[in-house]
Amino acid sequence: MEFQLEKLTKQNREIEELCKVLLVVVESEAATCTQVSRELFERSSGRRRHKWSR
């Protein structure tokens, strides 16, 4: 029984590590997505920063 518990604890730690890595990946992906969609929105709405310089 004790061995079983140790095995589970080890697995839990591994899963936690994986989750942390996934979280970092997901957060950076989300940031990229937000950036891209913001740029696309600005382009489509015609509100460019250098619009008035022409």
Is this structure's pTM higher than 0.95? no
* 3-49 pLDDT, tens digit each: 888 999 999 999 999 999 999 999 999 999 999 999 999 888 876 56
Cβ(48)–Cβ(42) under 8 Å? Answer: yes
The CA angle 28-12-5, to the nearest 5 degrees, is 175
| Predicted pLDDT at 4 | 87
| Predicted pLDDT at 25 | 93
Q: What is the DSSP string of 5-16?
A: HHHHHHHHHHHH
